[in-house]
Amino acid sequence: MGAHSSVGRALALQASGRRFESCCAQSHCGGVVQSVRALACHARSCGFESRLSRYIMAVAMIKSRSLYQLAISTIMMVIGAFVAAFAIQVFLVPAHLIDGGVIGVALILGRLFDESLIPLYIILLNAPFVILASKFIRRTFVVQMIVAVLLFALFLTLCSQFPPFIGDVLEIIVVGGALLGVGAGLIIRSGSCTDGTEILGIIINKKMGFTVGQVVLFINVFIFAAYGLIFQDWHIALRSLLTYVVAFKMIDLVITGLDELKQVMIISSKPQEICDIILSELGLGLTVLYGRGGFSKTNREILLVVVERLDLADLKELVLSVDPEAILTIQDLHEFVSGRSPKKIKSKNHNKLHILSQD
CA atoms of 321 and 20, how far apart (whole Å): 68
Q: Delimit the domains of the chain by residue range.
A: 2-64, 67-256, 261-354
Q: Does 52 score more than 80 pLDDT?
A: no
**Strand, helix or coil for residue 97:** coil
- Percent of the chain exceeding pLDDT 70 equals 74
- Read off the pLDDT of residues 153-198 as tens digits, 9 standing for 90 and up: 999 999 999 999 999 999 999 999 999 999 999 998 888 889 888 8
Average pLDDT, the chain: 79
Pairing of strands 299-308, 261-267: antiparallel
What is the structure's pLDDT at 297? 81
How would residue 69 be classed by pLDDT, with cut points 50, 70 and 90? confident
Which residues lie below 8 Å from residue 219, measured CB to CB, with a gap of 6+?
100, 101, 197, 200, 201
How would residue 4 be classed by pLDDT, with cut points 50, 70 and 90? very low
Pick the residue with more confidence: 99 or 199?
99
Q: Which CATH fold topology does 261-354 show? A: Alpha-Beta Plaits (3.30.70)
Could you give the C-alpha distances from 207 to 197, 212, 219, 241, 324, in angstroms and in order? 15, 11, 17, 29, 46
Pick the residue with more confidence: 306 or 62?
306
What is the structure's pLDDT at 79? 97
CA atoms of 253 and 267, how far apart (whole Å): 32
Q: Is 337 exposed, middle or buried (0-12, 13-18, 19+ CB in 10 A)?
A: exposed
- Read off the pLDDT of residues 85-140 as tens digits, 9 standing for 90 and up: 999 999 999 999 999 999 999 999 999 999 999 999 999 999 999 998 888 877 77
Q: Does 348 score more than 60 pLDDT?
A: no
What is the structure's pLDDT at 258? 64
What is the structure's pLDDT at 215? 87
- Read off the pLDDT of residues 273-285 as tens digits, 9 standing for 90 and up: 999 989 888 888 8
**Strand, helix or coil for residue 266:** strand
Over residues 316-338, the mean pLDDT reads 86
What is the structure's pLDDT at 125? 96
Pick the residue with more confidence: 293 or 37?
293
What is the structure's pLDDT at 137? 78
Q: Does 218 score more than 50 pLDDT?
A: yes
- Read off the pLDDT of residues 263-321 as tens digits, 9 standing for 90 and up: 999 999 999 999 998 988 888 888 899 988 888 888 889 999 998 877 888 899 899 99
CA atoms of 172 and 166, how far apart (whole Å): 8
- Read off the pLDDT of residues 138-148 as tens digits, 9 standing for 90 and up: 777 888 899 99
DSSP string, 155-188: HHHHHTTSPPP-S-HHHHHHHHHHHHHHHHHHHH
What residue type is 283 in one-letter code?
Answer: G
